[in-house]
């Protein structure tokens, strides 16, 4: 191996960088032309290109890694937010089920609310039962109950829901 290689000057490096920016892979004719133009051996040009390509690939990998890391961080934050929202919805569903069970058993929802003292559902709710004997195919629309208990429609302060035994459950929000 020849140890008499001279270091490239800043002007030579600048010219090689310009060439590299336009072409990442050096053809033999281009290598000879650059060697003549810069006054260095063609082998030194080839080695410079090989090293520069390796640095360029590493930089590309680092940029890709940074972009993926950012996407991962965003996705993990979204996942955490979704898990938090899921937990909140589970708690709300539990509260609604407690109120529904209490109303079905003839208790006031106040007793059901006492089960979850950390409830964000602080509004007073009252239940009453009204017979509706001619409605034998009634269903309990849980979505409507949930909507009523969690805020209902604007301007609405009461909801009527049908129970399977033909009894209407009226839920008022005060």
Measure CA 100 to chain center.
33
Structure tokens at 51: 């090293």
- Predicted confidence band of residue 68 (pLDDT cuts 50, 70, 90): very high
Nearest-10 crossing angle of helices 10-22, 42-104: 60
Q: Is the pLDDT of residue 161 over 60?
A: no
Using alpha carbons only, give the angle 98, 104, 106 rounded to the nearest 5 degrees: 105
How do beta strands 158-162 and 125-131 pair?
Answer: unpaired
DSSP-assigned beta bridge partners for residue 99: none
φ/ψ region of 173 (left if φ > 0, alpha if ψ in -120 to 50, else beta) reads beta
Tokens for 47?
A: 């080695």
Are 137 and 130 contacting, i.e. CB atoms less than 8 angstroms apart? Answer: no
Does the pTM surpass 0.75? The reply is no
Average pLDDT over residues 22-51: 95
Report residue 145's pLDDT band, with 50, 70 and 90 as the boundaries. Answer: low
């Amino acid at each position: 191996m020849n140890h008499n290689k001279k270091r490239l000057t800043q002007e030579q490096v600048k010219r090689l960088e310009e060439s590299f920016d336009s072409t990442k892979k050096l053809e033999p004719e281009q290598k000879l032309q650059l060697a003549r133009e810069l006054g260095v051996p063609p082998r030194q040009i080839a080695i410079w290109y090989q090293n520069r390509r390796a640095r360029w690939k590493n930089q590309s990998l680092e940029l890709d890694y940074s972009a993926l890391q950012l996407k991962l961080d965003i996705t993990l934050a979204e996942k955490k937010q979704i898990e938090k929202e899921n937990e909140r919805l589970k708690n709300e569903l539990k509260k609604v089920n407690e109120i529904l069970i209490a109303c079905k058993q003839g208790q006031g929802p106040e007793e059901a609310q006492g089960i979850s003292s950390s409830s964000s559902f602080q509004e007073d709710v009252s239940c009453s039962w009204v017979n509706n004997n001619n409605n034998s195919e009634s269903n309990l629309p849980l979505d409507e109950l949930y909507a009523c208990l969690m805020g209902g429609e604007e301007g609405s302060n009461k909801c009527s829901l049908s129970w399977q035994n033909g009894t209407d459950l009226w839920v008022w929000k005060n």
